[in-house]
Amino acid sequence: MTQGTRPVREVRTIRRAVVTGGAGFLGSHLCEQLLERDVEVVCLDNFLTGSPENVLHLMDHPGFRLLRCDVTDYVHVPGPVDLVLHFASPASPLDYLKMPIETLKVGSLGTLHTLGLAHDKGARYVLASTSEVYGDPLVHPQHEEYWGNVNPVGPRGVYDEAKRFSEALTTAYRTSKGTDTGIVRIFNTYGPRMRADDGRAIPAFVGQALDGRPLTVAGDGSQTRSICYVDDTVRGVLAMAFSSHAGPVNIGNPDELSMLRLAQWIAELTGSDSSVEFIDLPVDDPKVRRPDTTRAEQLLGWRPTVTSEEGLRRTVAWFAAQRTGAALQAG
């Protein structure tokens, strides 16, 4: 397997994997890529924010199984399991602000139950953590040794602290029980299968641009994000899964850009003449965000290869095609 620019030796054989949140945006891409590597996949999802439509194209694959399951209740998967990828959680501010208790439960109870599954099966476990554990960072770019600047009682705290707790619990299972665990801190990921209404910047900007509506930019638009195309993120996650590293490891694209520039870029790519409308900045919104990916490059041989321009082109094309398809069905 080649990750980024140099080959990396896989240290384990994985024949059967469990993916929680597997019908979500990122989870569905993980299921797809695991199947392409001849790994059987058990996809668990309660469809709180995911959708069966995201994995509809996988339903006829003999190695794929979709189960409705809430990992905060109970997790039972018969048969051998070599890998557990815990990706179940609301992930956009719009979702976790609407579902704060559910977000905290999946980060705590969901992590506990899935760690128990991995431990019982003797499986490798990879936790999907997030750049949000760094909060509104005082260190830039963010490296894995940075402890973060998080407001635990702010509106974003339910997600940030759920992920920080899940990291602590994952580490405890590794150190006290010997469970084979790894932690990836995923930075802003985008691409096909994002929900148009999930509240994140890229689908919001694309939808507004395609409709010819003003693009709503928070604050003055100077706050930055580093966006990583989904194919690159999945490669990084699977590089971690097939390794023996504990992490945490940042998975993201160091290509940093302002929200105003992102909005303008999407308007250009859609051919829209939409104006920009500035709105109030959300509480505790991070001012900067850029990963230090040195550890991922050194340990996993991974780095992103899809440029932001190419990734945004693919994403805009996908959203436009979805609209065309919906219009044809309606007609």
Catalytic site positions: 159
Buried b or exposed e, range 232-249, using 16+ CB within 10 angstroms: bbbbbbbbbbbbebbbbb
Can you tell me which residue has the tokens 């719009």? 94
> Chain-centre distance of CA 68, in angstroms?
20
Give one DSSP letter per residue of 223-247, joined into a string: -EEE-EEHHHHHHHHHHHHTS----
What three-state secondary structure class fits 35? Answer: helix
- Cα-flanking dihedrals φ and ψ of residue 105, to 5°? -70, -40
Query: Distances in Å between the alpha carbon of 52 and those of 22, 59, 95, 302, 320?
Result: 9, 9, 18, 30, 21
List the structure tokens of 138.
């005082």
Torsional class of 55: left (φ above 0), alpha (ψ -120 to 50), beta (otherwise) = alpha
Q: Which residues, 6 or more positions from 253, have their beta carbon under 8 angstroms from its beta carbon? A: 187, 226, 227, 228, 229, 232, 291, 304, 308
